[in-house]
Amino acid sequence: MIQGLYLITPQGSDEQILKLVRAGLRGGARVVQYRDKERSREAQINLARQLVQLCGEAGATFLVNDSPELAVASCADGVHLGQGDGSVHDARRQLGPDKLIGISTRSVDQALKAEMAGADYIGVGSIYPTGTKDDAELVGLETLRKIRRAVKIPIVAIGGISSTTGAEVIDAGADALAVVSAVANDRQPALAVRELTLLFNRRKPAGETRVMTIAGSDSGGGAGIQADLKTITLLGSYGTSAITVLTAQNTLGVHGLSPASAGFVARQIDRVLDDIGSDTLKTGMLYSDEIILTVAGVIESRNLLCVVDPVMIAKGGAALLKPDAVEALRRELLPRTYLLTPNIPEAESLTGLTIRTLEEMEAAARSLQAMGARNVLLKGGHSSGDATDVLLVGSIIQHLTAPRIETSSTHGTGCAYAAAIATLLAQGQPLSVAASLAKRFISEAIRHAIPFGGGHGPINHAAGAKILRDEGRITRDA
């Protein structure tokens, strides 16, 4: 069955291609297509056989482009044909009945002919403009939708697809997303594949998606592990946790800390991930450099997409990150962070910048990205005027704005905001959409907060989730 992330090899040396494919398979690519117009036939066979072995070890499907002869010689799982590369019938005669044969199409008529000829799947594209194929003809989403209605065999969408556009391509009917430059040109190709692969979770029931939170425990229930698990559950995913620190706290402040050892944090994480697994991670209060190093190692070894809320100071002023842990956060965790979600004081501490204006927020977000974070959401709750957050996705800046609500019930806002984003990402939302929905969730959770306690009270997680359900922004099985 052809489905999921379909990685097409770019031009490059054998070493470069093998390295990219290893990264793609580590990120979750389910199909690899070897495309090569430059090497001799002997060199093609040699490289294809190495790719066959890599894909076999990962349980992925390996296809070659254009040439049934190369597919036979390399023991590939099948071949992908262009419109001018011979017939499905001839390829079937050469490969036999058990191999996969796909063919590129650009219209409903071509797709129907391919299905009737016995193709196992079809490629449809180019969906968007692409620079990787000179003769690519733009097809677009509407033609993809028409082809999806016309044929029953799997569809691989091809051309110009990225993590920003992939969701709408899946919604239009694609069973697989074929990519080249979106992975090959990324400085973190394994993470790029993981990000694209998560988009397919939008076809799962929300309750089948999993989010793990690694954070401190708040005995008052407003922040930390408790707030995260409430958020994850109310938004419809399954939440797991690893507790870094026990706290004695209420709305009036933190009155005591009892940290777990880094070894015990690692044991919690590993036992959960080895058994249940997780689609995304969210971190909160990590407290010490030893715990930060542990978490960074888990993200690296398991290639997980992680939303990092760099919890440093409690609402009441208590330090929640040891001084020697700040450098570990900068050095070890930021380069492994998918999305960093600091507030303004945290961003100032991490960058050394003074942040007073929206332009300074944007500059700080870019500075944090330069320090290693893949994407940044700099929260504007500590600024004046409307509550405007700066979202930096790749090189694109987006402003998320909501009216400021005058209330003292804001305890755990950052925890829930980051947990909501991690949950929505796990459910297959692209980052910009996940952040926008999470902003709506957190604004309504603050607006409908019940003033528990005599200090900084908690937000109303249930009210925030209800708004998203009522608006149809999250599914009813949440």
Task: Give alpha helix (H) positions in 138-236.
Answer: 141-150, 166-171, 181-184, 189-198, 224-234
Sheet harboring 280-283: ordered strands across? 253-259, 238-250, 210-218, 280-283, 306-308, 339-340, 375-378, 387-393, 396-402
Q: Which of 105, 213, 251, 410 is catalytic?
A: 410
Q: CA 100 to CA 92: how far, in whole Å?
A: 9
Q: CA 427 to CA 437: how far, in whole Å?
A: 12
Residue 301: asked if its preceding bond is cis (omega within 30°), the reply is no
Q: CA 138 to CA 126: how far, in whole Å?
A: 5
At 436, the amino acid letter reads S
Task: For residue 169, report the phi and psi dihedrals to the nearest 5 degrees.
Answer: -70, -40
Q: CA 431 to CA 411: how far, in whole Å?
A: 25
Burial 385-412 (b: 16+ CB within 10 A, else e): eebbbbbbbeeeeeebebebeeeebbbb
What would the two tokens of residue 224 be?
């930390």
Q: Which of 413, 423, 439, 457 is catalytic?
A: 413
Indicate if 75 belongs to the active site: no
Strands (E), 36-98: 61-65, 78-81
Beta-ladder partners of 253: 250
Q: Which of 230, 282, 315, 379 is catalytic?
A: 379
Place of tokens 């419809």: 236
Q: CA 2 to CA 176: how far, in whole Å?
A: 7
Q: Which of 166, 222, 412, 457 is catalytic?
A: 412
Task: Give alpha helix (H) positions in 389-430.
Answer: 413-426
Counting beta carbons within 10 angstroms of the beta carbon of residue 359, is it exposed (0 to 12), middle (13 to 18) or buried (19 or more)?
exposed
User: Is beta strand 61-65 parallel, antiparallel or unpaired with respect to 31-34?
Assistant: parallel
Sequence-distant (6+) residues with CB within 8 A of 320 are 216, 245, 254, 285, 287, 311, 312, 313, 314
Task: For residue 269, report the phi and psi dihedrals to the nearest 5 degrees.
Answer: -65, -50
Q: Which of 284, 414, 428, 457 is catalytic?
A: 414
Indicate if 84 belongs to the active site: no
Indicate if 413 belongs to the active site: yes
Place of tokens 């556009």: 165
Angle, in degrees to the nearest 10, between helices 108-116 and 141-150: 30
What would the two tokens of residue 380 be?
């504007």
Q: Which of 125, 306, 415, 464 is catalytic?
A: 415
Beta-ladder partners of 376: 340, 392
Indicate if 410 belongs to the active site: yes
**Which residues are annotated as catalytic?**
379, 410, 412-415
